[in-house]
Amino acid sequence: MHPAGSVIVFTVASGLGFGLLTWLGLGLPDVRGWGAFWYYALGFGLAGGGLLASTFHLGNPQRFLKAFSQWRSSWLSREGCLAVVSMAVFGLFAIGAIFMSAIWQPLGYIGALLAVLTIFATSMIYAQLKTVPRWNHWSTPVLFMLLSLGGSGLLAMQGWPSMILLALAGVMQLVAWLSGDGRFESRGTNIGTATGLGVRGIVRAFEPPHTGNNYLLKEMVHKVGRKHAVKLRIIAFVLMILAPLGLLLISGTNLMFVVAAILHTMGTFAQRWLFFAEAEHVVGLYYGKR
């Protein structure tokens, strides 16, 4: 799949943003007044900025209001609705915490639940697609949620909780990579089933329908960078998981949390780039490609 910058920024930033809001809703840390202001500014900035970035790849973004209408069937619509509702709840919660030094805890819990559901809905946009076997697996939502909460735990300066979540995210990342590598083959979809001609012999794409490029090939048969996948996986894993864990084991100063959060975010960008670049869509089979 084509790793579009806007979608990478969207999933990374809004994942961290809604994760941070979750921590704040749980009262971890319990911040009020100006201290709370900066936390909420960061949370809303990441969550809202990510959502804004996601509109950059739309063909007709001016019609975005319609995207809130199909929550009964569409994970993308659910994600939009949940994002707006949870940000509204946290807006109220933040007003209490910043301007009145009041923590309306039930509201915080509701907001935290909605924020976690938002992250889940984001991941399900990808995990629901049977056409992309690598994504179509339970490890996708689990990994998205662990990374969002673990990474934002660094922003919320939560030592052990975020370390445990990041360690679990590391394990889940390995599960996702190792199980994902063979899933395309194991699902049994190949050029033979795609054309229905597989029962007759060995099928080979002889001539493509068009000599030039097209939307399908640009969007779904992205191959650039797959050859560096192993190196990028190591870079992503070290920055996203190992470096933050190592830094926090050395010391738990505020500076360490900031450095760990920056490294983690950089690693997550690499991981998310790979998430798209390594994902293979079954439509490539019609072109004899993967």
Copy the structure tokens of residue 161.
């909780």
Measured in whole angstroms, the distance separating CA 125 from the mean position of its chain's CA atoms is 10
Among 95, 197, 234, 249, binds another protein (CB under 8 A): 197
Long-range contacts of 212-221 (CB under 8 A, 24+ apart): 216/283, 217/287, 217/289, 218/2, 219/1, 219/2, 220/1, 220/2, 220/281, 220/283, 220/284, 221/281, 221/283, 221/284, 221/287, 221/289, 221/290
Written as one letter, the residue type at 46 is: L
At residue 213, what are phi and psi to the nearest 5 degrees? -85, 165
Segment 84 to 123, residues that bind another protein, using CB under 8 A: none
Our finding on whether 74 is near another protein (CB under 8 A) is: yes
Closest Cα partner for 117 from 74, 81, 156, 92? 81
- Annotate 20-57 with three-state secondary structure: HHHHHHCCCCCCCHHHHHHHHHHHHHHHHHHHHHHHHH
Q: How far apart are CA 82 and CA 134, in angstroms?
A: 26
**Considering the complex, what minimum distance in angstroms separates the CB of residue 139 from another protein?**
19
Our finding on whether 207 is near another protein (CB under 8 A) is: yes
Single out the segment in contact with another protein by CB under 8 A; choices: 96-104, 166-174, 242-250, 277-285. Answer: 277-285
Our finding on whether 250 is near another protein (CB under 8 A) is: no
Our finding on whether 60 is near another protein (CB under 8 A) is: yes
Q: Which residue has the tokens 């009964």?
A: 72
**Considering the complex, what minimum distance in angstroms separates the CB of residue 192 from another protein?**
9
Our finding on whether 208 is near another protein (CB under 8 A) is: yes
**Considering the complex, what minimum distance in angstroms separates the CB of residue 119 from another protein?**
17
Our finding on whether 185 is near another protein (CB under 8 A) is: no
Our finding on whether 186 is near another protein (CB under 8 A) is: no
**Considering the complex, what minimum distance in angstroms separates the CB of residue 2 from another protein?**
10
Our finding on whether 224 is near another protein (CB under 8 A) is: no
**Considering the complex, what minimum distance in angstroms separates the CB of residue 158 from another protein?**
33
Our finding on whether 231 is near another protein (CB under 8 A) is: no
The count of residues interacting with another protein (CB under 8 A) is 58
- Can you give the binding site for another protein, defined by CB under 8 A? 1, 57-61, 63-64, 66-70, 72-77, 80, 125, 128-132, 187-189, 191, 193-197, 200-210, 212-216, 219-220, 281-283, 286-287
